[in-house]
Amino acid sequence: MAVERFNPYHAKAGTATGGQFTSGSSGGGGGKPAAVKPAAAKAAPSAHQAHLAHVQYLATHPGAPGARAQRKAALLQQAKADRVKITALRKELKVLQAREAKAAKTAKAAHAHATQTAAKARAAAKAGKTAGHVTLGQHRAAQHRHRVTRHRHLSLKKQISGVESQISDLEAQAHDLEAQAAKL
């Protein structure tokens, strides 16, 4: 049995009946369309099908009875979910602010230590002491600690800024949702 690549009952695309199925024998030349069988008596839809049709109707017709209440409930539920997210973000914000305060204190202390060791290194180099290289190494280590703590502090400040922005956005969104629900 040979496999055919194209349907022989399909009219050619360039013809007036292009893209339509034809009757059995004419393989692409403007014959009559195949006869449509009369539809059998339609059975009543099942309860599930009727429910799905009703739900689809309510979704596409917002003025239908019950749709306003459902929409209002959905808006208020989304606003409540946003408020829950805001609460979680505020807890996270407190933790980040505590870490940032500690990092700021550490960065300030590292800066003071780096400044102090720099002064000692300059004094030792000016005096021409042979042990000045040890003080210079200590100064470099202090500078490194200062850079690391400063970077950590700035990173925490960025995180705090991002969380505050999220909280602000969610508060605005929740407020808008509640206003929309109030209008319904």
The residue ranking higher by pLDDT, 47 or 128, is 47
Q: What is the tens place of the pLDDT at every residue in 81-127? A: 999 999 999 999 999 999 999 999 998 888 888 888 777 777 777 77
Query: Are 20 and 33 a contacting pair, CB within 8 Å?
Result: yes
Average pLDDT over residues 171-176: 95
Structure tokens at 76: 């208020």
Domain ranges for the chain: 67-183
Residue-by-residue DSSP string for 1-46: -PPPSS-TTB--TTSTTTT-B--SS-SSS--PPPPPPPPPPPPPPP
Q: What is the tens place of the pLDDT at every residue in 4-50? A: 566 666 666 666 666 655 555 554 455 555 555 555 556 777 888 88
